[in-house]
Structure 1
Amino acid sequence: MNVLHIRQLKMSDCLLGRMCSKGIAAVIGGILIHLTLGNLYSFGNMMTYMASYMHIRVDPSIDYGNFIWVNSITTAAQGCFMVLGGLLEKRVGPKITCFVGCSLLSAGIMLTRYTIEVSLFAVTMTYGLLSGLGISLSYVTPLACGMKWFPERKGFINGMIVAGFGLGALGSTNFQTMYLNPDNLPPETDGYFRDPDLLNRVPGVFITLGVIFLVMQYTGCLLLSKPKNDHHLCQQEEGEGLLEPSETENAEEREPISTAVLTDRDLKPMEMIRNKTFYQFWLIYFFNTIAIGYINAMYKSFGLSFILDDHFLAVIGSLSAIFNAVGRVFWGRLMDKTSFRVAMRLLSLLLAILFATLPLTSSMGKVGFAIWIWMIFFTFSGTFVLMPTVVEKAFGSQYYSANYGLLFTSQTISGPLVAALNHLMLDAVGYTGCFLSISGVICMSFIMTFIVPRGL
């Protein structure tokens, strides 16, 4: 081996090392951003305090049944504007896109300090709509960056990043509970907190949360980046050397290679919506997000119906974030090892069983309730790994952010649908009827997995 070739190999080593460092930094930045976006999963905990405050001090007609509209509008806003996030990222890059989205999310939380004194509609606009808009702009871009840097481990990398989303509720739920109810005061028999000191602390928690989130978000935005082209990747195929000098010199001139499994080229959004497989994915996502939105908002109010221990329920909520995060890594890895069809089929079947049997936990005590909630969070978390990964796998990476945004439009229907039906069904059939209905919806997702094309 001559001296020139050795020098070229060393230069390639340095180049690959720098690229891998940037790739790792991008994944860390994505995790930081998703940790703040994951505040969404603390809504079930926060709703008990917010609804209590507004029921007692603003409007007695506000209750848990109609307060779910706040969470539903958040998810609907994600569906409406997720495509905008993908298009913005293509124009201005990942850093600016996430900076704008994160700023909107934190602004929505902080403005709730004032809107919670006004009306449920005002809270829905800030804690719901504005926060949802912020999430929609910030959600997909970190995933796109991670998959670009590590294309051979897409499921695992997506799992790592969205694990941050799942873990977000761990810090948020504990902070909310310790800040608002440090003495573990129980709610009254009607399910609402009425202690004056507790209620006095509710408005201030939004400012504190917003400031903490901004620091984490802006740090994450600075770490985000994408490789300049599809050949600058943090990987080395087994049995191959590093980039040869000629490959390094010409890498900038090459066109991106299509990664799409179903087509011979990456599909643009308007092309993707003419593909029937997209609608199969859309329906699976729609059915699953109905279940996810419902349990996220209602698990604590259901628990309060037979467990009068606020700190215990907060612990369940915070630890569910760990199961949410670990589940995302698990399901992403499972898809890498098997396929989307296998992983999603197992996920939907298990989730349907867990929802159908959840009403039984009212006679199982604290331990039984905790196990069921944790298993539900562990299971549904895979939806947010499997769906973005299969969209990129099926239709390619070049337009991935916008394409996944189109899939998210399912939440514009599932979110409001849950809110509209919940109040009526909760009064008519109670929690048992609601959970059994959700289980039936998830069974539709299970059936859909059998018509998804093979090879995915």
Structure 2
Amino acid sequence: MWYPCRVTDSTQLASRTGFFSRSRIVAPPTWSRWLVPPAALSVHLAIGQAYAWSVFKPPLESSLNLSGTQSALPFQLGIVMLGLSAAFGGTLVERNGPRWAMFVSMVCFSSGFLLSALGVATRQYWLVVLGYGVVGGIGLGIGYISPVSTLIKWFPDRPGMATGIAIMGFGGGALIASPWSAQMLGAFGSDTGGIATTFLIHGLVYAVFMTMGVLLVRVPADGWSPPGWTPPAVQARKLITTADVSARNAIRTPQFYLLWIVLCCNVTAGIGILEKAAPMIRDFFSGTATPVAVGAAAGFVALLSLANMAGRFVWSSTSDLIGRKNMYRVYLGVGALLYLVISLAGDSSRPLFIVCALGILSFYGGGFATVPAYLKDLFGTYQVGAIHGRLLTAWSTAGVLGPLIVNAIADAQKAAGRSGPALYTTSLYIMIGLLLVGLLANELIRPVSERYHERPAPVEGQEVAR
């Protein structure tokens, strides 16, 4: 049987001399690889603002007369576009390099805010959906995957930690954006004028901030490896491959679809709470002696962002030690138990609710940061960025399912006259079921068959055949 040989296009890429070409950002020998994570963070901290969307939900609902489901639409569509743009743009990111990808992300993400500002100012909500959801969502997807394969190539010795450093920025973006947005809404007002001004400032400031990453990012030279490090001669763990799989072949494997299910279930279980975090904690304890104030709810969103961010670094780094499969057993199994505790405790203990929510969001973030290293273990480093982009369609699906489940059920329960934890009990049990499905899919993952591996390039005068 004949196999296609891997053909690199480094010569073609090197011939490009434009500002965004890969050849312009090849690092010199003295370049420190520790300058690359800050470049990635400048993009991820900006696009991570998406996790602070719940701060805008109450003022949008009151000023534009929207339901909870309607106010979630820009966020949902943004996550859908994130996955789709990552899937279709993953190969372009690999081909054109991280500087090009970061620039495209900056233009789209910032433009999305500017369109949203215009939409709110003119009371045309469809412009908010188009701007934040479609245009901004493309910026989310391209920006999210832009540094992943670059970081894995800079840190082959610690891939989980490397991706965790960058991707924790996406989780931590709301830690900055949530209080910042709340302060601006307090200063400018929560009417259409105040919301529009807040969106406008977001778009301009994030454009400047993301430009830092565009200018700083570098890629390693061909053949580079960390000083004193040599690739392991044998597989350290059963699921870690020493071969490479192309993006085209990866989507033909059962491992890709099992990991797709794992990611989709884990994300759905976390994103439903995250998107509705501010109104959810207020609803949950509305019947207690001390209801949650608006400022405290915004603080809760910031705490969730901190847990999301910390989980991306701590848990992904832990996966370097215990393995990716074991790490996902924790995310999915313990996460299901935490959801069960919340559903059984109800509004009896606010600290218990907060602690469990923080644990769930840390696992949610950790799942995102660990999955690139899981892909690298299963499919190698050859086209891991493009494979990662295709896998993020799971995030697109979850971005619709999670908020839809939580918001639709809460709206229905509210219409039926219920309040407090009763608005969310059914949603919590659905999340538990999804996490158990993900846990089963994770258990079924096995090493990728050799028939999907790339064949080495032929030596001159030889043919690659089998």
TM range (shorter): 0.7 to 0.9
- TM-score, reference length from structure 2: 0.80
Q: Is the 8 A contact 2:271 2:403 kept in 1?
A: no
Pair 1:375–1:397, CA change in 2 (3 A):
same
- 1:13-52 deviation digits (Å, cap 9, x = unpaired): xxxx964634222111001111001101111222222222
**What do the CA deviations read for 1:67-95 (whole angstroms, capped 9, x no partner)?**
22221111111111102332222332210
CA distance in 1, matches of 2:231, 2:71: 58
Residue of structure 2 equivalent to 1:296? 274
Task: Assess, with a 3 A threshold, how the Cα gap between structure 1 residues 261 and 436 changes in structure 2: closer, same or farther.
Answer: closer
Going from structure 1 to structure 2, the CA distance change for 1:454 and 1:399 (only over 3 Å counts) comes to closer
Deviation at 1:235, TM superposition (A): 3.7
2:64 equivalent to 1:54: yes
**1:58 is matched with which residue?**
none
C-alpha distance in 2 between matches for 1:280 and 1:19: 40
Partner of 2:11: none
The residue correspondences of 1:267-416 to structure 2 (distance < 5 A) are 267-305=245-283, 306=286, 307-359=291-343, 362-364=346-348, 366-416=350-400
Residue by residue, what CA displacement relative to the aligned partner does 1:85-112 show, whole Å, maximum 9, x if unpaired?
3222233221011101121011101211
Q: Which moved more, 1:168-177 or 1:306-315?
A: 306-315
Match of 1:75 among 76, 79, 92: 79
Q: 1:41 to 1:233 in 2, by over 3 A?
A: same
Name the CA shift for 1:391/1:51 in 2 (closer, same or farther; >3 Å). Answer: same
User: Structure 1 residues 68 and 239, CA, compared in 2 at 3 Å: closer, same or farther?
Assistant: closer
Q: Give the Å deviation of 1:366.
A: 4.2
Cα distance in 2 for residues equivalent to 1:451 and 1:339: 15
> Which residue of structure 1 aligns with residue 416 of structure 2?
none
Deviation at 1:203, TM superposition (A): 1.1
Structure-2 change in CA distance of 1:169 and 1:419 (3 Å)? closer
* Paired letter, 1:29: A
Relative distance call for 1:370 and 1:421 in structure 2 (3 A) is closer
2:156 corresponds in structure 1 to 151
Distance 1:201 1:351 in 2: 38
SS, match of residue 446 in structure 2: coil
Give the direction of change, closer, same or farther, for the CA distance of 1:341–1:239 in structure 2 (3 Å limit): closer
1:198 counterpart SS class: coil
How far residue 167 of structure 1 moved from its aligned partner, in angstroms, is 1.2
- Kept after mapping to 2: 8 A contact 1:145/1:224: no
Partner of 2:71, secondary structure, is helix
Equivalent residue in structure 1 for 2:181, among 176, 184, 201? 176
For the 8 Å contact 1:83–1:401, the answer to whether it is kept is: no
In structure 2, the CA distance between the partners of 1:320 and 1:417, relative to structure 1 (3 Å rule), is closer
Mapped to 2, the partners of 1:148 and 1:154 lie a distance apart of: 8
For the structure 1 residues 120 and 372, does the alpha-carbon distance in structure 2 shift closer, same or farther, using more than 3 Å as the test?
Answer: farther
Letter in 2 for 1:142: P
Counting only pairs closer than 5 Å after superposition, residues 422-437 of structure 1 correspond to structure 2 as 422-426=406-410, 427-428=412-413, 430-437=423-430
Greater Cα offset, 308-317 or 260-269: 260-269
CA distance in 1, matches of 2:240, 2:253: 10
Would you tell me which structure has more helix in proportion to its own residues? 1
Please give the secondary structure, in 2, of the residue aligned with 1:225. coil
Cα distance in 2 for partners of 1:220, 1:378 equals 26
Instruction: State which drifts further: 74-83 or 412-421.
Output: 412-421
Kindly report which structure 2 residues correspond to 1:9-88, keeping only aligned pairs within 5 A, or say none: 19=29, 21-55=31-65, 62-88=66-92
- Seen in structure 2, the aligned counterparts of structure 1 residues 403 and 66 have a Cα distance that, compared at 3 Å, is same
Distance 2:112 2:154 in 1: 32
SS in 2 for 1:417: helix
- In structure 2, stretches of 5+ residues that fail to align are 1-26, 233-237, 414-421, 449-466
User: In the aligned structure 1, how far is the partner of 2:107 from the partner of 2:231?
Assistant: 45
Contact 2:113 2:199 in 1 (8 A): yes
Deviation at 1:316, TM superposition (A): 1.4
Aligned residue in 2 for 1:115: 119
2-structure distance, mates of 1:141, 1:388: 12
**Structure 1 portions without partners, runs of 5+:** 1-16, 56-61, 183-195, 241-259
Q: Distance in 1 between matches of 2:190 and 2:144?
A: 33
Q: Secondary structure at the match of 2:106?
A: helix
- For 1:20 and 1:324, locate their aligned partners in 2 and report how far apart those are by CA, in whole Å: 34
* 1:236 matched to 2:228: yes
Contact 2:77 2:137 in 1 (8 A): yes
Task: Name the CA distance, whole Å, in 1 between partners of 2:303 and 2:31.
Answer: 31
2:138 to 128, 133, 136: 133
Q: Which residue of 2 aligns with 1:190?
A: none
1:220 partner letter = G
User: How far did 1:355 drift?
Assistant: 2.1
Aligned 8 A contact 1:109 1:206 in 2: yes
Distance change in 2, residues 1:54/1:19 (3 Å): farther
Shift of 1:372: 2.8
In 1: Cα distance, 2:358 partner to 2:429 partner: 18
Corresponding residue SS for 1:31: helix
Is the 8 Å Cα contact of residues 347 and 380 (structure 1) preserved in structure 2? yes
Post-superposition CA distance 1:204-257 (Å, at most 9, x none) = 00111111111110101111121122x2123423899xxxxxxxxxxxxxxxxx
Q: AA paired with 1:336?
A: D
Q: 2:196 maps to which residue?
A: 203
Instruction: Return 45-54 or 271-280, whichever deviates more.
Output: 45-54
CA contact (8 A) 2:167 2:368 kept: yes
Residues 113 and 131 of structure 2 are in contact (CA less than 8 Å); yes or no, is this contact kept in structure 1?
yes
Deviation of 1:114 after TM superposition, in Å, equals 1.2
Residue 174 of structure 1, CA deviation: 0.8
TM-score of the aligned structures, taking structure 1 as reference length: 0.82
Aligned to 1:445: 438
2:81–2:138 contact (8 Å) kept in structure 1: yes
Kindly report the root-mean-square deviation, in angstroms, between the aligned alpha carbons of the 2 structures.
2.5
| Contact 1:347–1:379 (CA under 8 A) maintained in structure 2 | yes
- Residues in 2 aligned to 1:377 and 1:402: alpha-carbon distance in whole angstroms: 26
